[in-house]
Amino acid sequence: MPEPVDAVEMQTALARLRRTSGLPVAFGGLLSDARHARIAEL
């Protein structure tokens, strides 16, 4: 299980990726559609 600090860093990085790229990113990975998160694509 990741440390809480690691989770915060990941959330921050994903938020930055979403803002700069316009990709639909959520904590857990890229969203392939509204129902599924595909972590492997990150």
* Angle 6-35-32 from CA coordinates, rounded to 5°: 70
pLDDT, tens only, 3-37: 777 778 877 887 888 788 877 766 555 555 655 55
Range of the domain at 33: 4-41
Domain count, the chain: 1
In 3-state terms, what secondary structure has residue 37? strand
- Predicted pLDDT at 21: 81
pLDDT at site 42? 43
pLDDT at 41: 44
DSSP character at residue 11: H
Q: pLDDT at position 30, please? A: 53
Query: What is the phi-psi region of residue 36: left when phi exceeds 0, alpha when psi lies from -120 to 50, beta otherwise?
Result: beta
